[in-house]
Structure 1
């Protein structure tokens, strides 16, 4: 059985509207804004260890109701005549039985109350943006540290102290 891990359900269009860079990008291309959100959520998922599920409202678009994975983030487009809030509420009900902790990222106050009553914790769009930005900074810091270590004497960093001492003696002789 797979290890249970925390789940983050994200109201996709709520985040796009709540994150300034994505809101601006959505004025040019909603598809690019969705892709950018999913890319950032994929990095956050890898960093945080939480399973991320993004839900996009397709309430007025007939024939959707699709679910697929993009960059290891599970993506749901709601069914016809189903709102993202309804889909998130349904998923919270299903997932609370199987997962450790469920978090829902939405700035919709009514939705926050409903999911809290069902046992999930909430994050506002701003709080999730701060968490995502912090994880991105930590990733960049780790990359720089790894690059700094690897640009120094790569062979030296892989040798044990005993072997380095032997090589140093040989060098001096």
Structure 2
């Protein structure tokens, strides 16, 4: 199994789209990153865990799942780097390869020492762009293969039949 640990605020600060969104609305930037990681998870099959520092969201540690992406807000006085290091140690085993997405150089070396593979925020962005492009191509291919009807139907009738087929009535 492959696991991707994402340093949430580090990636937000490194991706142009998310960096701009953060200036207006930090919560929206977090949500957008989680959406992107859900696409990544769906395409790659990796277990994805996004870790955010607590200093932007005060209170006790919070964990939740958004689609199949696990999201962790660290407890007060614990950095995302510390939590990611702990996770890399606890999740690493013979059957699991841990990947860590961060551009924090010190964190990359600490993670590398735990046996995890590093991925810079830019590398993750490039990988995301490739995945989105592949998804788009698949969707277009599926749309082009619309069923062919031997009986000429108006668009309205075709929509009615499609609703019946789906049970929408």
TM range (shorter): 0.7 to 0.9
Could you tell me which of 57, 64, 71 is aligned with 2:67? 71
In the TM superposition, 1:37-76 aligns within 5 A as 37-59=33-55, 61-76=57-72
RMSD of aligned residue pairs (Cα, Å): 1.5
Which secondary structure state, in structure 1, belongs to the residue aligned with residue 48 of structure 2?
strand
User: Tell me, which stretches of 5 or more residues in structure 2 are unaligned?
Assistant: 151-169
1:100 Cα deviation after fit: 1.7
Higher gyration radius (CA): 1
Could you tell me which of 129, 142, 147 is aligned with 2:143? 147
Cα–Cα, structure 1 residues 26 and 62, in superposed 2: closer, same or farther, change >3 Å? Answer: closer
User: Tell me, which stretches of 5 or more residues in structure 1 are unaligned?
Assistant: 156-173
Q: Which residue of 1 aligns with 2:155?
A: none
**TM-score, reference length from structure 2:** 0.84
Q: Which residue of 2 aligns with 1:130?
A: 126
In the alignment, structure 1 residue 12 sits paired with structure 2 residue 8? yes
Q: Deviations over 1:1-46 (max 9, x none)?
A: xxxx200000000000000010000000000000000001101100
1:97 Cα deviation after fit: 2.8
**Aligned structure 1 segments of 4 or more residues deviating by more than 2 angstroms:** 59-64
Q: Deviations over 1:32-84 (max 9, x none)?
A: 00000000110110001111100000047542211100121000000111000
Quick one: distance in 1 between partners of 2:94 and 2:66? Answer: 23
Could you tell me which of 96, 102, 105 is aligned with 1:106? 102
Which secondary structure state, in structure 2, belongs to the residue aligned with residue 111 of structure 1?
helix
Contact 1:60 1:80 in 2 (8 A): no
**TM-score, reference length from structure 1:** 0.83
